[in-house]
Amino acid sequence: MKSHARVVVIGGGVVGCSVLYHLTKFGWSDVVLVERSELTSGSTWHAAGGMHTINGDPNVAKLQKYTVELYKEIEDYSGQDIGLHMTSGMMLASTRDRFDWMKSILAKGRYMGLDAHLLTPKEAHELMPLLDPDQFVGAVFDPVEGHLDPYGTTHAYAKSAKRNGAEIYLHTKVEDLVQREDGSWRVITNKGEIVAEHVVNCGGLWAREIGRMVGLELPVLAMEHMYLITEDMPEVVEFNRTRGKELMHCVDFDGEIYLRQERNGMLMGTYEKACRPWSPLTTPWDFGHELLEEDIARITPELEVGFRHFPAFNRAGIRKIINGPFTFSPDGNPLVGPVRGMTNFWSACAVMAGFSQGGGVGLALANWMINGDPGFDVFAMDVARYGDYATLAYTNAKVRENYSRRFSIRYPNEELPAGRPLQTTPVYDRLKAAGAVFGASYGLEQPLWFAPEGVEDRFSWRRSTDFETVGAEARAVRESVGLMETSGFAKYAVKGRGAKAWLDRLLACRLPAQGRMTLAPMLKDDGKLIGDFTLARLGEGDWLLIGSGIAEDYHMRWFEAHLPKDGSVTLEALNLSLVGLAIAGPKARDVLAKLTHLDVSTEAFPFMAVRRMDLGMAPAIVGRVSYTGDLGYEIWMKPQYQRYLYDLILEAGAEFGIRLFGLRALNALRLEKSYGSWSREYRPLYGPVEAGLERFVATGKAADFVGRQAAAAERETGGVLRLRTFVVAAKDADVIGDEPIYLDGAVRGWVTSGGYAHAAGLSVAIGYVPKEIADIEAGWSIELLGEMLPARLQVEPLFDPSGARMRG
């Protein structure tokens, strides 16, 4: 065994072997993999081996596409048979609602070039005679699906990596990990020690335990999962004989089952409602190539539907039932990337679909380790998308919910209940008493809208029960004044003698003068956006950064990686130690004026000014800025003052008819200003010119900021895309994101967000299109729920294009 290696990958499942292969493929050959037993000894060996491209998140779908396309390459390179069967597949819908959902998935896939299409039940039956067409309303056919041999595939990765110089040590268990002074790791195994520059946790079923070796509690939990294999079925044999091919994969969403051919019979698996975590506290180290006890009663309700939908199963004998554990994160996506606060400790775990995603995970992680960037937008799988709220018990609640809903519809306005409420702010009870319907984001309860007595969210693809009320909230802001809670934003205090220089280097904007704020894009070396913030300069060496709440850990990881080592800058994520309220609308200044003796006229307190000021008896930070695009103020306070200020503002606003508004109204308001938001319009895929943030990028400033060269180059070339706003001829549903944008009937772009702009009375979509066509006014349409809706380019913001209201 080597005593030193550049990388030690822990775990020889499909994910570890893919990571190892990709590292070697990109030129790192001093890499080793240690496996406590044989390769595939975790969840990999008993997987059903199914794989597909379709995923609700286009960024994940891209990596799944890569994974599926990789299989021929590793089979050829390694000479290892992987038992690849590209059978194609179909997703089946038994209800109209489900079919609507499938159409939206299909539409999302269009601009990725996904070659899938709709089928009638009759066509579906023709392709897959085992199904009863009367049970379905339609299907989606996907040519790029199939299954493979998990053992062969894992070995193909491993052999390919070895061919490139990697070493693999079997029966070598990592027992401890100790970081050395220089940041490298002592990987302590039962066979000796390896000093490694980087460690990768691909521990699968034991990823949690490996995390604990370094003091991490990773949000990952294993669930039991069952599938059955039938005896030979004459219907299958007959199909193979007459058609000369295998039966295709099927996912029957309403039955919550999947099935495929296995030899001359069929395999059927379920994501059952009565799901069960496996080893919820700790995974036993002596768990080997074992299966769990079968428990057919638990999956009977799903099987009954499955057997009704596929009647031939009623005549088949069951050859065996497999019950095995595999891991999930709270949202079902993997946990990939560098772990915040640690040097060279990487995660590639919680991969629940190793055969659809393993290649993409390996590719992204190897890119990240070698080039410092994953090379794709992997936020959906980034280990930093969770904060400290993702505890063991939270993970347990969310994973069970996620597993049992794996094949359930998630409506655009649906908030899932497990693990809630967890984090609340001091005004939570007051908001709730006022009818707030909450959503949870980054573990925090946030008001979405304020429902009248007896009205609640009805989940739907179309405009729903909240429509009128959200409209009234939005209009109240435009007509008079509204109050909303803003604690969900991430807030960072940056202080110290080196703060100014550091921010100047980190952020692409020109730094604001004291008492002023600015919009502050943050770029990667390649000039793409890695953050967008509001930066407030409160005093000399006293700065406040405000950004997206869901990206707090993600941004902290970036900040910390760029922090000077000399202690000249102190940085703190304030989280809920600073909470917020915001007022917006033409009467907002009148409300504020009643709370302070200070002059808040535009002359004394102009747009983008920021002050520490007492409001009533409470100290606060007040910034004259509003994401509504209206006259407005963001007010930040310590949590102990929030209820006092909430009451005070409502009292002061009463004479103006102040109204509470939530995130849905805020979305409607920002759409009519064409304001983008992090994780939608602003992502590491886009440059500032493309995203319309160019005017906040000071390529001419003295400081050499991160991404400067690339930003200058983008300015020169103009980039590839443009963010544009469209007014959509919507009927009873509005776009939400990822719908394809067509020009003259051809897919040319995609929506990043949308909705009904209530105050303007128009349905709006924001999205990216190629720059060459970005200023064409006519000929646009957007596909929504299977319908092509005409759209027109909206050149100016719908509301207050001159900014007079906001600045006045």
Ligand X SMILES: Cc1cc2nc3c(=O)[nH]c(=O)nc-3n(C[C@H](O)[C@H](O)[C@H](O)COP(=O)(O)OP(=O)(O)OC[C@H]3O[C@@H](n4cnc5c(N)ncnc54)[C@H](O)[C@@H]3O)c2cc1C
Where do contacts with ligand X occur on this chain (CB under 6 A)? 10-16, 34-37, 41-44, 46-51, 173-174, 202-206, 210, 225, 227, 322, 324-326, 349, 351-356
**Least CB distance from residue 773 to ligand X, whole Å?**
38
Separation of alpha carbons 133 and 94, rounded Å: 10
Classified as helix, coil or strand, 20 is helix
Cβ closer to ligand X: 13 or 797?
A: 13
Cβ closer to ligand X: 43 or 396?
A: 43
**Least CB distance from residue 195 to ligand X, whole Å?**
16
Classified as helix, coil or strand, 355 is helix
Cβ closer to ligand X: 354 or 488?
A: 354
DSSP-derived secondary structure for 289-300: S--PPP-HHHHH
Cβ closer to ligand X: 351 or 751?
A: 351
**Least CB distance from residue 223 to ligand X, whole Å?**
8
Encoded amino acid at 18, one letter: S
DSSP bridge partners of 269: 227, 258
**Least CB distance from residue 204 to ligand X, whole Å?**
2
Q: Are 352 and 328 in contact (CB under 8 A)?
A: yes
**Least CB distance from residue 559 to ligand X, whole Å?**
30
Strand 31-34 to 4-10 pairing: parallel
Q: Tokens for 142, please give them.
A: 């996907």
At 87, which helix (H) or strand (E)?
none
Separation of alpha carbons 644 and 562, rounded Å: 38
Cβ closer to ligand X: 89 or 447?
A: 89
Cβ closer to ligand X: 194 or 427?
A: 194
**Least CB distance from residue 374 to ligand X, whole Å?**
18
Classified as helix, coil or strand, 234 is helix
Widest CA span in the chain? 88
Cβ closer to ligand X: 169 or 756?
A: 169
From the list 441, 443, 479, 462, the residue with the least C-alpha distance to 661 is 479
**Least CB distance from residue 205 to ligand X, whole Å?**
4
- SS3 of 314-355: HHCCEEEEEEEEEEECCCCCCEEEECCCCCCEEEEECCCCHH
**Least CB distance from residue 297 to ligand X, whole Å?**
17
DSSP-derived secondary structure for 681-726: TBSTT--TTTTT-GGG--TTSSS--TTHHHHHHHHHH--SEEEEEE
Cβ closer to ligand X: 283 or 753?
A: 283
Cβ closer to ligand X: 65 or 670?
A: 65
Q: Are 320 and 228 in contact (CB under 8 A)?
A: yes
**Least CB distance from residue 250 to ligand X, whole Å?**
13
Separation of alpha carbons 647 and 562, rounded Å: 41
Separation of alpha carbons 359 and 160, rounded Å: 13
**Least CB distance from residue 40 to ligand X, whole Å?**
6
651 phi and psi, to 5 degrees?
-65, -45
Cβ closer to ligand X: 87 or 709?
A: 87
As to burial, measured by CB atoms within 10 angstroms (0-12 exposed, 13-18 middle, 19+ buried), residue 26 is middle
Encoded amino acid at 770, one letter: P
Structure-token match 């802001």, residue found: 477
**Least CB distance from residue 728 to ligand X, whole Å?**
37
Encoded amino acid at 373, one letter: D
Structure-token match 């699968």, residue found: 204
Cβ closer to ligand X: 132 or 294?
A: 294
**Least CB distance from residue 200 to ligand X, whole Å?**
11
Q: Tokens for 693, please give them.
A: 């943030």
**Least CB distance from residue 446 to ligand X, whole Å?**
32
What is the DSSP-derived secondary structure letter of residue 89? E
Cβ closer to ligand X: 206 or 605?
A: 206
Separation of alpha carbons 366 and 368, rounded Å: 5
Cβ closer to ligand X: 87 or 568?
A: 87
**Least CB distance from residue 345 to ligand X, whole Å?**
14
Helices (H), 129-245: 150-163, 207-213, 234-243
Structure-token match 């794989």, residue found: 51
Q: Tokens for 218, please give them.
A: 């990773």
Q: Are 348 and 365 in contact (CB under 8 A)?
A: yes
Q: Tokens for 376, please give them.
A: 């794709």
Classified as helix, coil or strand, 91 is strand
Cβ closer to ligand X: 234 or 285?
A: 285
Separation of alpha carbons 733 and 107, rounded Å: 15
Separation of alpha carbons 617 and 621, rounded Å: 13
Cβ closer to ligand X: 168 or 663?
A: 168
**Least CB distance from residue 232 to ligand X, whole Å?**
21
From the list 518, 742, 761, the residue with the least C-alpha distance to 625 is 518
